[in-house]
A and B are shown apart, each in its own frame.
Chain A
Amino acid sequence: MSGALVPVVVVFGVLFGALTVAAGLIWLERRLLGLWQDRLGPNRVGPFGLLQPLADMIKIFMKEDWIPPFSDRVVFVVAPAIVVTTVLLSFAIVPLAPGVVVADLDVGVLFFLAMAGLGAYSVVLAGWASNNKYALLGALRASAQMISYEVFMGLSLMGVVLLAGSFRMQDIVRAQERLWFVVPQFLGFLVFAIAGLAESHRLPFDLPESESELVAGYHSEYSGMKFGMFFVGEYLGVTLISALIAVLFFGGWRGPWLPPLVWFLLKTFLFIVCFILMRASLPRPRYDQLMKVGWKLLLPLVLANLLVTGAIVLAR
């Protein structure tokens, strides 16, 4: 393979890989939720129901794609694309194996945080453009939730950055040669996992959506593939957070015997399953509880963690 082709292969590999995983998650999640509820889950389409995402895709493309006449049309159409775009852009900095990364930015962690921040626009604009009170309520919640959890998310990663001495993802993985960062940065890992859940507004923290109170929250008015985009974005977000937990705290591609890429994928898969397990088992907190835990518990914790880590790094 010629040298110029490698980046192209990596870029398209990551793009298609991420989208395939996100589609596959539809099947995986429903299957796992089924098993955890003593059901079977989808097992009819293809072997083990593996072609279920394909059937869902065909169905959702056939659906009427309705744009409400009272909506802000342009924003309404653009909003679902934003979440998919920002999450896909974040995948650019995830190192799959030594040297295999789309963009080896020296501000990798910051780039991810910036993209996560932009992702909030998708939800807020979708809720606003829908011109629907439930959608607006969902968007309000989403904006508050995502903005406040971004704070701890960023701060929880600073410990890792301090220890590794670099924002570059590959350097962070290399710095975990002797010890995975989950051990010295256990608090950081916990807070990052919780904030990641909240950031991708997955089930324990799906207050922007909360179908039991807000119809479907910010995407109440969406149908067809625009609705599908929000879902693809959500599953991409789950994959991204899982991949980042694997890279930042569990040594990324590092591991014995197996090739690096396999280790990375295995770890990512494990955390995806953990995300789904959280969804299967935990109820949704009340909105004030969510905010209280965020600002009164996680923020002091993560600040203390940052201070102690900083002191230790200075003392060395």
Chain B
Amino acid sequence: MLSILRTVWEVFRHLFRKTVTVQYPEEVVRLPARWRGRIVLSRDPDGEERCVACYLCAAACPVDCIALQATEDDRGRRYPEFFRINFSRCIFCGFCEEACPTYAIQLTPDFEMAEYDRQNLVYEKDDLTIDGPGKYPGYNFYRVAGLAIGGKDKGEAERERPPVDPRSLMP
């Protein structure tokens, strides 16, 4: 009986507590930096697009919402001819970001993507590409992995380290 009264009293005291509600549209929600929101395609520090159209993101995607087509420029550099993400399917799992070898595809702390028309949720490459390097400033895939050019293979230039053996277990 006393415990019941105490319960009632404890609940009543909550009337004077501060509420935890965030009044969203007026108050801005602070999202953590690793929040998995809207997907972007980033550029390396030189302003080139990072994506090498390896299809790993599309393969990793559990809901198959990523579609792209690889092509090559005149120097033999692979890049996506088109890159399409259907956000009405996307479940924001972040697997594409984990699969990406060049840090090109990244998830950002932004969820305000509501649309009245479902078709507007299909983002093309122009909608996805951002101007900056995203979460990895200063990272350039080809500086790390090396680049083969005519007459010189990877790691054969002066003061260039030999390429990583991807089949070795050693770091």
Contact = CB atoms under 8 A, between A and B. Distances in A.
A277 B19 contact: no
Interface in A260-295: 277-278, 280-282
Give the bracket for the number of chain B residues in contact with chain A: 10 to 19
Contacts of A32: 15
Contact of A278 (B8, B14, B18, B21): B8
Contact of B20 (A38, A280, A281, A282): A38
B7 interface: yes
Interface string B11-28: 110110111110100000
A277 B11 contact: yes
A303 B137 CA distance: 81
Contacts of A36: 11-12, 14-15
B130 to A, nearest CB: 34
Main secondary structure of the interface of A (DSSP, over half): helix
A38 B8 contact: no
A92 B79 CA distance: 81
A39 B20 contact: yes
A250 B108 CA distance: 61
Contacts of B19: 34-35, 38-40
Contacts of B7: 281-282
Main secondary structure of the interface of B (DSSP, over half): helix
A143 B8 CA distance: 28
Interface residues of A, number: 13
A21 to B, nearest CB: 21
A35 B15 contact: yes
A34 B20 CA distance: 10
B2 interface: no
Contacts of B17: 38
A282 B15 contact: no
A280 B4 CA distance: 12
B10 interface: yes
A40 B21 contact: yes
A38 B23 CA distance: 13
Interface of A: 32, 34-40, 277-278, 280-282
